[in-house]
Structures are given as C-alpha cells and as structure tokens.
A = this chain, B = another copy of it.
C-alpha cells in the first residue's frame, strides 16, 4: 500500500527522527523523503512516501498521530487507496461560480467518481451553489475576504477530505497548509498557461504580449517549487486579432476554465496521474 505521511513541526531538529524511526521499525520501504526548512517563517516540514503491507495501515495512523501529540508535530497519514472508489473533495471558491458548478455537475453526472464532501468560500458568492447541490458550506473569511487558513485545514481534516480543489479560489494557501496536505492532494485551477503566465492577471498579461492563444492550467500545488512542473492538464483557445480583452476573458471563464478543472480533477481521482518527486507522472495502468 502506498502511503503519504506529512509532518509539520516547530523546528527542523526532532522533526524527522521519531517518524522515520517508527516507520522503518515497521518495515516500511521508503520511496521518498523531502524535508523543508523555512526558517524565515519558522516552518519546518517533512513529506514521506512509502510502501507498507495494507494490513499494517490501520495501525499506522494512530501510532503516528500519537507520536505527533508527544513531539508537538502536526502529523497526517494518507493513502489514495483508502477511498480510491470514491475520494472525498473539498471545493474551495471565491467569486467565480463556473468552475465549481462544472465540477459539481460532473460529479452528479458520474463523469467524476468522487464525493463533494464540503464547499468552502472566502466570499459568499458560491453559497447558493452549495445549497443547490445540497453540500455543507462554510464561509471562512473575516468579512473582508481574508480567509482563516487554519480553519480551512481544520475543515478538510474534519470532513476527512482526500483532495482539496481550489476552484478559482483566489487566495494563496500558506506554506504550512500546503505541507499538511502535501503529496498530490491540493489541485489548483490557474486561469492562464503555466509557466508563462503566473500572476493574478494572466488574461491581461497574455493579451498585453499580443498573444492570440489563451489557456488555463490544472496543477498540483507544491510549496516553493515551480508551479509549472506540476501540470495535470492544460486547455487553450484562440481568438482572432482585434478581439477585445473582455471577450477573451468571457470565453475563458465561461467555457475553457470549467472544462480544464473538470478534466484535471478527473485525472486525479481516477489516479491516471500522481505526484512523484515533485513531478506529475502518468500511472501505469493497474
């Protein structure tokens, strides 16, 4: 069984030892260890991917969580295989309704085999979508759109979420959140072609360079690493010279972005792709 363990702690000493001790003592086969030290932000994190016989998995999680309690580490133990038939999604939104709507329809119609476990917004705009599809809704902002990042992670923990889908969620997750759900569990829709157009205004940036092709990118979030390296799917469209920027954006938002997100999430929940040493790799057919 393929298992991902993440740990976030108060310093880089004492972060790795107790967890590594335990899993190697269990006979785990280590596939990948990555440690991170953001001393400027006092953030220390580890990602560990390993193989373990499936029968040992039920005991592993409580054991590592107990280590976390003793050592003041925030520990998560996850396997994509646990709920492979129907993984649970948190759908995070800001204002645009098209991408989450497309995702909810694809789930309803069975094109994506997953469960929308919870919808989260830092703005109220998508609340009625949640009601329409009968999904729990939580608004996590301070009234001005500033999200409570810790609450987002708490909600994902509480709803036992497999994947966090950022469906035009227009806030940057802090590195701490990214590490807690590291290992290919956070999927973002970016409304431009990565890595060329990264910023907050990718339509405008591509337009300013007089491109006639525009696109969207669905990718895994990996903190502090080049987002261009973790692309799951990209879709594009072309416009004639002279097309106004407003029309370009409309075509992108109403049609291209929703399509891009749905296909990207489909590839992840169907486990056609996975994150392996910061790269997206195609899974061999099982």
Give chain A's interface residues, CB within 8 Å of chain B.
12-14, 16-17, 20-21, 24, 29-37, 46, 193-196, 209-213, 215, 226, 228-236, 238, 240-242, 267, 272-273, 276-277, 279-282
Q: Which residue of B lies closest to A194 (CB)?
A: B211
Within the complex, which residue of B24, B34, B212, B233 is in contact with A238, where a contact is CB–CB below 8 Å?
B233
Known contacts A24-B24, A276-B37; is-contact A241 B282 (Cβ 8 Å)? yes
Within the complex, which residue of B12, B17, B273 is in contact with A241, where a contact is CB–CB below 8 Å?
B273
Q: How many copies does the complex hold?
A: 4
Q: How many Å from the CB of A7 to the closest CB on chain B? A: 12
Q: How many Å from the CB of A163 to the closest CB on chain B? A: 17
A-B contact pairs, 30 of them (CB 8 A): A12-B32, A13-B31, A16-B33, A20-B24, A20-B30, A21-B24, A32-B37, A33-B33, A33-B34, A33-B46, A35-B277, A36-B277, A37-B277, A193-B213, A195-B209, A195-B211, A196-B196, A209-B226, A209-B229, A210-B229, A210-B231, A211-B228, A212-B231, A213-B215, A213-B235, A213-B236, A215-B236, A231-B241, A240-B282, A241-B272
Q: Which residue of B lies closest to A27 (CB)?
A: B17
